[in-house]
Amino acid sequence: MADRYIEVSLVKRDVTCRAKLLDDRAPITCAAVWDALPLAGDVYHAKYARNEIYALFPPFAETEPPLENPTVTPIPGDLCYFAFAGTELGTKSYGYDREVRAGTTLVDLALFYERNNLLLNADVGWVPGIVWGQIVEGLDSMAEACNDLWRSGAAGETLSFRRA
């Protein structure tokens, strides 16, 4: 299979980076994401994992991917996939502006932009993610925009994933 690439963007900030899909390490997850593209949603900056931005989406795979190529210590440039039951994200401490409730599932597509991340949540413990992509171009400018998002706020910003 030929290498596949996507573009990940912070739309309002007009910053885009390019990522290679890790089809050899997470083929089921890569296929699910690729088939669902383009995807875009409100961006959030992580509270617990540290140097992470992400967007939440309704489930888009026929069945949730298995935990392939897992990590709890993502490195700069990792793209990770998480699936959460609504009850895992339903407390007000997460700060979502929409109702997240039992019986729902949300997919979290995340971009890690700097070192020293740990996927440990005080509410539920370890939260392994599936590493399905790696940024190969534009990480420096994306990291700068992510730091600005952390300082200035995420309101009105969109995180976008599309085929390159």
Q: Give CA–CA dist 24/69, Å, rounded.
A: 10
Residue pLDDT, tens place only, 104-151: 788 999 999 999 999 998 778 899 999 999 999 999 999 999 999 999
Q: How do residues 67-105 score in pLDDT, each as one tens digit?
A: 999 999 999 999 999 998 866 766 655 555 556 666 678
DSSP for 40-91 reads EEEEEE-SSSSSEEEEEE---SSSPPP--SEESS--TTEEEEEEEEGGGS-S
Q: Which domains does the chain have, with CATH numbers?
A: 5-163 (2.40.100.20)
Query: What is the pTM (predicted TM-score) of this model?
Result: 0.93
Backbone angles phi, psi at 34, to 5 degrees: -55, -45
User: What is d(CA 40, CA 45) in angstroms, rounded to the nearest whole number?
Assistant: 15
The closest alpha carbon to 89, from 131, 123, 59, 140, belongs to: 123
Radius of gyration from C-alpha coordinates of the chain:
15
Measuring CA to CA, which residue among 70, 72, 83, 76 is closest to residue 33?
83
User: Coil, strand or helix: which one is 2?
Assistant: coil
Q: Which residues face 105 on adjacent strands?
A: 85
